[in-house]
Structures are given as C-alpha cells and as structure tokens.
C-alpha cells in the first residue's frame, strides 16, 4: 500500500504508518501540477488544508482508495466527486476540539481585561493603570454559545467551571451537558448573554447567523468571539455594531475572506483582537491529528 503525504504531518504518525508496513512518501510541499503527475502511483493520500483535491486531480488518481484530511473541514476536497469514483474521504473531527475551546476561553479573558491592548501600551513604555482598570470578571457573567457540538460543548464546560452561566443554542442536539442551559430560541441567547461565542460550521443555514438584526437584539456592551468559521458573522454588521458601541469588543480567529482582506477592516478597531486561524494550532492537536490519520490509514491498508 502506497501513501503520499501532501501537507505537513506529525513525524511520529509517519513512523507509525511505516511501522505498520505502509510505504509512505512525504511530499509535503508538492505542487498541484506535480501531484497530478504522480497521484496514479498511490492508494492513499493525506492532506490538511493546503492541498486541494478537485475533479482534475481525482480523475488522475486511478488507484486511489482514500483521501485522509487531517483536521475538521473538508471544504478543500470535492467529496461528492471523490466518492462517486469510489474514493473514501475521511477526516479527524475531534482531534483539535480542545485546542479551539481553549483559544476561545483565552479570548474571553483577553476581551474582559483587554490583555492584548494593555500589553501593547506597556511595550510602548506607558503605564496606563487607570485606563485599564475597568475590566470585568468572567465569573457571574452569561456566556451564550451558538452551536453546541464538540467544540461548543467543551467551551461550555470550561466556562461553567469558571463560574459563568452558560446558555446554548443548537436545534440539532437533543440533550446538552448539564452545565449548559439549552435555549430553544436564538433570540434568548442574544438578549441574555454578556459574551457570545459561535461554534457552527459555515452553511446556508448558518450564513450570517450573527447579522445586523442579531446585534440589535443583544445587550449593549456585549462581547463576540468567533473561533468557528468565517461567514457565520456578518463582518460589515459587526463593524457597525462596534462603531456604535453596541458591541464592546470582539475576538476573531476566522474571517469571511482569509486570503485577501484577512479581517483588516475589523482589526482596525482597537477593541478587536484576533489571530490568523490558529484555533487548531497547538502541538497537542497536531500530534492527535497525526495519530488519528495514522490509525485511519492503517485501518484502510489492512482491509
Ligand atoms: P460539530 O459538528 O461538532 O458542531 C457544530 C454544531 O453546530 C453541531 O452540533 C450542529 O448541530 C450545530 N449547528 C449547525 N447549524 C446550526 C444552527 N443553525 N444553529 C445552531 N447550531 C447549529 O463541529 P465542531 O468540531 O464543534 O466545530 C465547530 C466549528 O469550529 C466548525 O465550523 C469548525 O470548522 C470550526 N473549527 C475551527 C477551528 C479553528 O482553527 N478556528 C478548528 C477546528 C474547527
């Protein structure tokens, strides 16, 4: 069984696959053009988000049995077309959940105490003790979670442990962890939360789930966190809500356009903090993703 690694993958996972008898070629900087010339030699390909797997490549993958995506989203793979050609598409959905949940919690603290902004003043040699002594505690505040799947639920558990009241909205989940109060109406989340965090995928049903109408229903001075997917928050509406003071601050790891605009409109607001889609970017998540990729590859190779 021959496997090609197309994107950077944990070294111990590669060793595990080799030890199981899989012939692994690491080509993690390969271009799409090169890949098209060699793909017929492989039975399994491993990608993360760098490599796109679309029809022209799939048509040349005449021996491919499976594409394994290390990570959650499979937007970079034409899943339906691959499956129509008998190619299985697998991912590692749970491996990075805790890392994303921890980043979200980190952002709650950072927003409540303006940690990045005050750090910037210290680096400028300033001592703005008075200006930055008006933060708030998380304990006793209400966190509204939109989307209570793997990550949303973990955020809820961690926030509850910090003493927050946690409300969750997810019409597709029958039962939630006991620390999350299930709300049937999204407007209740908007009306009652001091902090709102979004953990839904970006679909037709979740596009702009936080839009101008949603912001209008929120408490004055609400804080927004999005470590889910760009496109779930209407960034133009968020800019307006920040400008008017309706939203006191926002923390964003994902953006509508991560290639060209890259969240720059939002980052221009001093009360907005953010990161370049690093939610899953921890050593632990990388190791877990690698471990799951290796497990899936070995399972497929042994069939
Ligand atoms: P998940 O599938 O376990 O949970 C998503 C939840 O959203 C599901 O429970 C689903 O029922 C719910 N949902 C769908 N439509 C909804 C709606 N209209 N209203 C309310 N809830 C709705 O996914 P997950 O693993 O928890 O991931 C959540 C998001 O985080 C995904 O978009 C994923 O791509 C993203 N993510 C981001 C990073 C990052 O680096 N920032 C890393 C991993 C995952």
Find out whether the beta carbon of 93 lies less than 6 Å from any atom of ligand 1: yes
Q: Is 280 in the pocket of ligand 1 (CB under 6 A)?
A: yes
Distance CA 154, CA 270 (A): 29
E strand intervals along 160-286:
165-169, 180-182, 195-198, 222-226, 247-252, 272-274
Per the DSSP assignment, residues forming a β-bridge with 5 are 26, 46
| Residue 202 alpha carbon to ligand 1 centre in Å | 8
Is the CB of 227 within 6 Å of ligand 1?
yes
**What does the pLDDT profile of the chain (303 residues) look like in tens digits?**
999 999 999 999 999 999 999 999 999 999 999 999 999 999 999 999 899 999 999 999 999 999 999 998 898 999 999 999 999 999 999 999 999 999 999 999 999 999 999 999 999 999 999 999 999 999 999 999 999 999 999 999 999 999 999 999 999 999 999 999 999 999 999 999 999 999 999 999 999 999 999 999 999 999 999 999 999 999 999 999 999 999 999 999 999 999 999 999 999 999 999 999 999 999 999 999 999 999 999 999 999
- Give the neighbor-by-neighbor strand order of the sheet with 2-5: 23-26, 2-5, 44-47, 66-69, 88-91
Sorted by sequence, the CB contacts under 8 Å of residue 133 that are 6+ apart come out as none
One domain, residues 125 and 91: no
Range of the domain at 47: 2-95+282-301
What is d(CA 27, CA 35) in angstroms, rounded to the nearest whole number?
9
Within this chain, do residues 33 and 139 fall inside the same structural domain, yes or no?
A: no
pLDDT (0 to 100) of residue 73:
85
Q: What is the pTM of this model?
A: 0.93
- In this structure, the answer to whether residues 101 and 198 fall within a common structural domain is yes
Q: Is the separation of the CB atoms in 70 and 47 below 8 Å? A: yes
CATH number at residue 290: 3.40.50.720
Same domain, 131 and 176: yes
130 and 235 both lie in a single domain: yes
Domain count along the chain: 2
- Measure Cα distances from 100 to 79, 192, 281, 282, 283 in Å: 25, 24, 8, 9, 12
- Could you tell which of 48, 72, 91, 253 is best to mutate to test the pocket of ligand 1, judged by most ligand atoms within 8 Å of the CB? 72
CA-nearest of 299, 277, 164, 155 to 227 is 277
Q: In terms of domains, do 51 and 174 share one?
A: no
CA 53 to ligand 1 centroid distance, Å: 22
Per-residue confidence (pLDDT) for residue 249, from 0 to 100 = 98
Name every residue whose Cβ is closer than 8 Å to that of residue 203 and which is 6 or more positions away in sequence.
Answer: none
pLDDT of residue 72: 87
Q: How far apart are CA 74 and CA 52, in angstroms?
A: 10
Name the closest-CA residue to atom 22, ligand 1: 147
Burial category of 81 from C-beta neighbours within 10 Å (exposed 0-12, middle 13-18, buried 19 and up):
middle
pLDDT at position 278 is 95
């Amino acid at each position: 069984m021959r496997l090609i690694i197309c994107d950077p993958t944990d070294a111990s996972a590669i060793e595990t696959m080799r030890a199981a008898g899989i012939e692994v070629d690491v080509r993690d900087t390969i271009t799409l053009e090169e890949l098209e010339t060699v793909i017929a030699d492989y039975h399994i390909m491993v990608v993360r988000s760098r490599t796109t797997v679309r029809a022209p490549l799939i048509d040349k993958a005449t021996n491919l049995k499976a594409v394994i995506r290390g990570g959650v989203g499979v937007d970079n793979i034409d899943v339906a077309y691959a499956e129509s050609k008998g190619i299985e598409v697998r991912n590692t959905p749970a491996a990075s959940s805790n890392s994303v949940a921890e980043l979200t919690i980190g952002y709650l603290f950072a927003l409540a105490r303006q940690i990045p902004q005050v750090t910037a003043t210290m680096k400028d040699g300033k001592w703005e003790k008075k200006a930055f002594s008006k933060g708030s505690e998380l304990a006793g505040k209400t966190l509204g979670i939109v989307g209570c799947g793997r990550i949303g639920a973990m955020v809820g558990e961690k926030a509850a442990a910090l003493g927050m009241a946690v409300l969750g909205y997810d019409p597709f989940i029958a039962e939630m962890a006991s620390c999350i109060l299930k709300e049937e109406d999204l407007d209740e989340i908007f009306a009652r939360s001091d902090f709102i965090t979004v953990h839904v995928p970006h679909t037709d049903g979740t596009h702009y789930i936080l839009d101008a109408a949603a912001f209008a229903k929120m408490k004055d001075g609400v804080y927004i966190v999005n470590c889910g997917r760009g496109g779930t928050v209407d960034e133009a509406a968020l800019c307006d809500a920040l400008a008017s003071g309706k939203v006191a601050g926002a923390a964003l790891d994902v953006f509508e356009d991560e290639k060209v605009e890259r969240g720059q409109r939002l980052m221009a607001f001093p009360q907005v903090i953010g990161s370049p889609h690093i939610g899953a970017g921890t050593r632990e998540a990388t190791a877990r993703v690698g471990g799951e990729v290796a497990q899936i590859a070995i399972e497929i190779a042994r069939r």
